[in-house]
Amino acid sequence: MKALPAICCIVLLCACTGPSIRYKTKVIGDMQNHNFEAAQARIKNNKKTYGKRDTSLYYLDLSTQQDSTHYSTDTLSVLTQAQNIQSDLYAKSISQKFTSYIVNSYSEPYRLKYFELGYLFFYKILAYLQEKNLQDAVVETRSMVFYLDKLREDTGKDDPFLQYFASQIFLMWGAYSDARISLENAKNAYSRFADSYATIPQTPKITKEDSTKGLLTVQHLNGMIPLLISQRTMVAWNRFGFALGTDSSYQSVSETTINSALAGAYGNAISVALPVVQEVPYRIKGSRIIVDGQIVGQTNLASNLSYYFKKNFDEEYNKIFINSAVRAAIKFLVTKEVRKQVTKKDDNVGVIVDMLLTGLFTAAESADTRSWFTLPAQIREANVLLDEGRHEVRVQLLDANEKVLDEHTFKDVQINRGRHTYLYLRSAK
């Protein structure tokens, strides 16, 4: 009997599943309407739903609402806090705790996936560039390259766009040897991951004839990375028959409650929840760059983050499935062992305890659907040489038929001779 209160406390304390799918879709809706202020306000108002375990995800979701015209000076400190939390997590043992097996994987802090960690560096470098702090941008770039080199050495994985991006930052700093190495790594990686359909951006070189010009890079962060939803299957049985129930993140609370109550009523139940990839549709498929009223080019797909998301999910799925099955088995065995011990004193109480634990464990079972959900689905890029001086840069956002769906204007963009200027724009429509 002494174990029962402890087990119930573990279930009640750890059954939290973080931000709901409904909350995420509302944030995505704000971003699709290009209302970043509303998205930020919604995230701040829901900070408690992230819990202490996932504070880093709160900071990351909050930080990706910016573009070059809505940049917040808090962005860099927010990203740094997220990075520090993740660094501490990776410095610790990654062995799972007991609660992650007996309740659900939400009981463990979220560790960023390999590609998410890479783009944390990317966003910090962008923040330094917005603050015109090239020196610290270069320091962060070196950290990113070190991470990518270690990733490639340990796992064979890489990110071609981040390698290319590093080469451009090194060029800005005049570190030509580092730039050459990163660019070579980028070319190799783009070749290896050709099935992502991303290609290395074309960057024009400044020749003697172009010595009075500067380079403008427009990065278009487009779409929304896929979401994960929880799909739960419950099988309950007793000597009179059995019942099968399913529910998902999109269903009402009452549906989940009914299945949990049903499991408890039957007395024997196994519940397994698995994550499912849910695409987030977006209409914008490209962008056109117009400078001072003249069309100068279109962006090309430089990074396909949706590809990395789905590829990583496929690679981890077998492990996720095994962990879910093991967790279901442990819950079942724990329930029966507690009933056995309680029944020694009172058979009726044993039955009640069995029903209670079965219902609680079923209710607590949920797939881990955490991710950096405000990341873009893709990054597009265009590079153009412009005369020194101030320019008006317009970015037309296009659908698949190149119909203009929206337009964004950057006024008084300063281009300096022989220098590199970055603009970035976020769209989710």
Q: Give pLDDT tens digits for 37-67.
A: 899 999 999 999 998 889 999 999 998 766 6
pLDDT over threshold 80, residue 360: no
Average pLDDT, stretch 67-71?
Answer: 66
pLDDT over threshold 90, residue 92: no
Amino acid identity at 204 = P
pLDDT over threshold 50, residue 254: no
Q: Which two tokens stand for residue 53?
A: 């375990």
H helical segments located in 274-416: 305-343, 347-364
Higher pLDDT, 226 or 273: 226
Q: Answer for the pair 305, 123: CB distance below 8 angstroms, yes or no.
A: no
Higher pLDDT, 387 or 204: 387
Residue from 224, 206, 222 nearest 214 by CA: 206
Average pLDDT, stretch 329-351?
Answer: 75
Give dist(CA 126, CA 426) in Å, integer: 13
Model pLDDT, residue 349: 74
Model pLDDT, residue 339: 73
Model pLDDT, residue 43: 94
Give dist(CA 286, CA 401) in Å, integer: 10
264: left (phi over 0), alpha (psi -120 to 50) or beta: alpha
Report the SS3 class of residue 269: strand
Q: Answer for the pair 173, 134: CB distance below 8 angstroms, yes or no.
A: yes
Model pLDDT, residue 226: 97
Give dist(CA 410, CA 386) in Å, integer: 15
The CA–CA distances, whole Å, from 398 to 284, 315, 368 equal 5, 33, 35
Residue from 188, 212, 209 nearest 200 by CA: 188
For residue 72, name the pLDDT band (cuts at 50, 70, 90). confident
User: Residue 201 — φ and ψ, nearest 5°?
Assistant: -60, 145
Model pLDDT, residue 4: 52
Average pLDDT, the chain: 85
Give dist(CA 250, CA 82) in Å, integer: 28
Give dist(CA 110, CA 57) in Å, integer: 8
Structural Rg of the chain based on CA atoms? 25
Span 276-297, pLDDT tens digits: 999 999 999 999 999 999 999 9
Higher pLDDT, 119 or 335: 119
Model pLDDT, residue 20: 87
Model pLDDT, residue 8: 53
Quote the pTM value: 0.87
Amino acid identity at 17 = T
Higher pLDDT, 389 or 351: 389
Model pLDDT, residue 68: 62
Q: Which residue is listed with tokens 């966003």?
A: 123
Average pLDDT, stretch 352-371?
Answer: 76
For residue 13, name the pLDDT band (cuts at 50, 70, 90). very low
User: Residue 245 — φ and ψ, nearest 5°?
Assistant: -135, 145
Share of residues in the chain with pLDDT > 90 (%) = 59
pLDDT over threshold 70, residue 247: no
Which DSSP symbol is given to 227?
Answer: E
